[in-house]
């Protein structure tokens, strides 16, 4: 019977070793180095805030070779950045994070400087639906991991027992380990490779949530009491072009009653740039429609 | 019973059986102010523990079977956090010792000791990163103060370290290699 345990132990170590072939170390990241994952041939992924302000970073490749690589794209929304790597580094085997189940064993693999591979292990505790980061990034799936973070683990892969990458490890709330799922990373990498940046929409308004009293709903002909009061309009923006004014209350987007402030964020995903959106707006006690063409958010 | 359930039970039983085998060489060491830690029977007559557990000349050493004997401090290294106690007890064998140098990240390890209420416990984890030349091994394992001085074992049941401290979410053990070097420095060796 102890041989079953020895086998299990060796398999864990084998899985760590195999995944480690696609894990690199970013020397200038974080406090004493962070990890990065070879996502595709020639493309590495790291956690953006750990390498903030750096155009080039020194990495130690899985082969042991130390080289300087450039940071070729960043997405602050999802806190991911991509690095241009030499093409001869094997890319990680990506898994389908939509197939993951609570209870599955996961490992967090990291590489810090010349220390070699490091790992922690645990389970997927819970899986939830899509969510948005505070900077507006869209994360395809929420995972709660019962797994310890460790110095330099950010940017490394979270792998399942089959050695497939479920996503990129990053810091979660309260010093926990969190993961940006593979589906999200793929989407962001596609955009960063194509444009060098992620495209975000921009209308040019500052808003504050407000609630209409119930008798006002029917009088105005709106469903649900939620609205977003426009408290700022940026000059020369999509908002000014469309005629949106201070004091307007947005109550619907493309005919759909506003669910929350996040509904506006979904209007601003890269795919909607250049497209017209019809906003239901209450102005001076009257419900009206205002067409807005979402522009691209400038880099500054 | 499907294969997965079988495997799960086998793994569980395997962990329990390794732990059971290790209890014989895990002792409870009384510390100052009513505190307690653990110790590892390195060979019959010699208990290895941490310097921070063994900080006086004599300690009560309690074996799993219930036997209680005095342990006399014969070696102590505060930098390494190791200490050795000599005991007079009819023990048949000491621990099987193995070098920690071969351990790879991900390999499973078990820590034994006497945390919290002071009764024998086991916890499981994995090697965090290879040891290299360091006398310290980091493991992704949940230690608690009473585990100090107890053995860290690999899945074959051999001792590869002495649990010594908690480093953030990880556990730290002094490698068996460092223990051997410490014992030879104090000219302690098993009687032939």
Closest CA to A169 of A34, A17, A27: A34
Pairing of strands A80-84, B82-87: unpaired
Return the pLDDT at A262. 66
Judging contacts by C-beta atoms under 8 Å, the chain A residues touching residue B154 are 9
Contact B162, B150 (CB under 8 A): yes
d(CA A278, CA A292): 6
DSSP A60: E
**Do the Cβ atoms of B170 and A120 come within 8 Å?**
yes
Q: Provide CB contacts within 8 A for A205, sequence distance 6+.
A: A230, A232, A233, A234, A237, A239, A244
Question: pLDDT tens for residues A66-103?
Answer: 999 999 999 988 999 999 999 888 999 999 999 999 99
**Strand locations in chain B, DSSP E?**
26-30, 36-43, 46-49, 58-62, 68-77, 82-87, 108-113, 121-127, 136-140, 151-154, 159-167, 170-175
Question: pLDDT tens for residues B94-121?
Answer: 899 999 999 999 999 999 998 877 778 8
Return the pLDDT at A212. 87
Chain A nearest C-alpha distance from B42 (Å)? 22
Name the band, by pLDDT with cuts 50, 70 and 90, for residue A1: very low
CB pairs under 8 A between A and B: 90
Query: Which uninterrupted H or E stretch holds A145?
Result: strand A142-146
SS3 state at A299: coil
Return the pLDDT at A290. 94
Contact B71, B88 (CB under 8 A): no
Contact B186, B166 (CB under 8 A): no
Structure tokens that stand for A245 in this block: 């004014």
SS3 state at A144: strand
SS3 state at A195: helix
Question: pLDDT tens for residues A217-270?
Answer: 878 877 778 889 999 999 999 999 999 999 999 998 888 887 766 678 777 777
Question: Testing the interface with A: which of B11, B19, B100, B105 to mutate, by most A Cβ within 10 A?
Answer: B105
Return the pLDDT at A261. 65
Chain B nearest C-alpha distance from A166 (Å)? 18
Chain A nearest C-alpha distance from B146 (Å)? 21
Q: Is the pLDDT of residue A192 over 60?
A: yes
Return the pLDDT at B187. 92
Q: Which of A2, A13, A150 sits opposite B18 (nearest CB)?
A: A2
Q: Which of B129, B132, B155 sits opposite A5 (nearest CB)?
A: B155
- Percentage of chain B modeled with pLDDT above 70: 98
d(CA B34, CA A127): 45
d(CA A19, CA A159): 8
Helices (H) then strands (E): counts for chain A: 5, 22
Return the pLDDT at A265. 77
Question: pLDDT tens for residues B54-94?
Answer: 989 999 999 988 899 999 999 999 999 999 999 998 887 88
Question: pLDDT tens for residues A116-149?
Answer: 899 999 999 999 999 888 777 899 999 999 999 9
Residues of B labelled as active-site residues? 52, 81, 148
Tell me the average pLDDT across A29-42: 93
Q: Is the pLDDT of residue A291 over 90?
A: yes
Fold match between B23-94 and B108-180? yes
Q: Which of A1, A15, A148 sits opposite B169 (nearest CB)?
A: A148
Q: Is the pLDDT of residue B1 over 70?
A: no
Q: Which of A5, A12, A20 sits opposite B14 (nearest CB)?
A: A5
Q: Name the CA dihedral angle for A149, A153, A154, A160, rounded to a multiple of 10 degrees.
A: -80
**Do the Cβ atoms of B169 and A17 come within 8 Å?**
no
CATH architecture of the domain with residue range B108-180 = Beta Barrel (2.40)
Could you tell me which residue, A173 or B169, shows the higher pLDDT?
A: B169
Interface of A with B in 231-260 (CB under 8 A): none
Chain B nearest C-alpha distance from A110 (Å)? 9
**Do the Cβ atoms of A8 and B108 come within 8 Å?**
yes
**Do the Cβ atoms of A1 and B126 come within 8 Å?**
no
Judging contacts by C-beta atoms under 8 Å, the chain A residues touching residue B107 are 9-10, 12-13
Q: Which of A4, A10, A148 sits opposite B11 (nearest CB)?
A: A4
**Do the Cβ atoms of B140 and A148 come within 8 Å?**
yes
Judging contacts by C-beta atoms under 8 Å, the chain A residues touching residue B125 are 121
Indicate the domain borders of chain B. 23-94, 108-180
- Residue A32 contacts B, CB cutoff 8 Å: no
Q: Provide CB contacts within 8 A for A8, sequence distance 6+.
A: B11, B14, B108, B155
Chain B residue with minimum CA distance to A151: B168
Structure pTM? 0.82
- Residue A157 contacts B, CB cutoff 8 Å: no
Question: pLDDT tens for residues A6-32?
Answer: 999 999 999 999 999 999 999 998 888
Contact B149, B29 (CB under 8 A): yes
**Do the Cβ atoms of A116 and B108 come within 8 Å?**
no
d(CA B154, CA B161): 9
d(CA B85, CA B39): 9
Chain B nearest C-alpha distance from A111 (Å)? 9
The CATH code for residues B23-94 is 2.40.10.10
């Amino acid at each position: 019977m102890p041989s079953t345990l020895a086998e299990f132990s060796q398999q864990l170590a084998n899985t760590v070793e195999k995944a480690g072939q696609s894990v690199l170390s970013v020397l200038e990241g974080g406090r004493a180095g962070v990890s990065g994952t070879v996502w595709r041939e020639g493309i590495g992924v790291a956690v953006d805030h750990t390498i903030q302000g750096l155009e080039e970073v020194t990495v130690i490749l899985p082969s042991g070779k130390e080289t300087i690589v450039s940071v070729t794209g960043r997405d602050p929304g999802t806190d991911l950045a991509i690095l241009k790597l030499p093409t001869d580094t094997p890319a990680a085997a990506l898994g389908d994070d939509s197939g993951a189940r609570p209870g599955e064993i996961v490992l967090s693999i990291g590489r810090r400087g010349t220390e070699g591979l490091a790992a922690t292990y645990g389970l997927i505790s819970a899986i939830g639906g899509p969510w948005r980061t505070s900077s507006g990034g869209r994360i395809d799936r929420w995972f709660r991991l019962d797994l310890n973070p460790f110095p330099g683990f950010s940017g490394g892969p979270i792998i399942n027992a089959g050695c497939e990458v479920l996503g990129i490890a990053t810091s979660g709330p309260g010093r926990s380990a969190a993961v940006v799922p593979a589906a999200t990373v793929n989407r962001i990498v596609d955009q960063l490779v194509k444009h060098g940046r992620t495209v975000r929409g921009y209308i040019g308004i500052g808003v504050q949530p407000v609630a209409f009293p119930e008798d006002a709903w029917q009088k105005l002909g709106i469903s649900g009491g939620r609205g977003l009061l426009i408290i700022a309009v940026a000059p020369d923006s999509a908002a000014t072009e469309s005629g949106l004014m201070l004091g307007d209350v947005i109550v619907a987007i493309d005919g759909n009653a506003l669910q929350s402030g996040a509904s506006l964020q979904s209007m601003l995903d890269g795919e909607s740039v250049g497209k017209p959106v019809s906003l239901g707006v209450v102005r001076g006690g009257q419900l009206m429609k205002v067409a807005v063409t979402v522009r691209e958010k400038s880099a500054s | 019973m499907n294969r997965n359930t079988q495997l799960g039970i086998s793994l569980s039983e395997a962990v329990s059986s390794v732990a059971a085998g290790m209890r014989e060489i895990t002792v409870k060491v009384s510390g100052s102010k009513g505190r307690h830690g653990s110790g590892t029977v390195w060979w019959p007559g010699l208990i290895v523990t941490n310097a921070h557990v063994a900080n006086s000349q004599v300690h009560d050493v309690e074996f799993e079977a219930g036997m209680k004997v005095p342990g006399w401090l014969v070696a102590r290294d505060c930098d390494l956090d190791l200490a050795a106690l000599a005991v007079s007890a009819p023990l048949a064998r000491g621990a099987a010792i193995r070098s920690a140098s071969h351990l790879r990240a991900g390999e499973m390890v078990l820590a034994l000791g006497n945390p919290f209420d002071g009764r024998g416990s086991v916890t499981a984890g994995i090697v965090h990163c290879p040891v290299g030349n360091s006398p310290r091994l980091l493991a992704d394992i949940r230690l608690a103060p009473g585990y100090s001085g107890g053995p860290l074992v690999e899945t074959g049941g051999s001792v590869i370290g002495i649990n010594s401290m908690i480093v953030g979410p990880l556990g730290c053990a002094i490698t068996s290699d460092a223990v051997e070097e410490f014992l030879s420095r104090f000219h302690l060796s098993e009687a032939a």
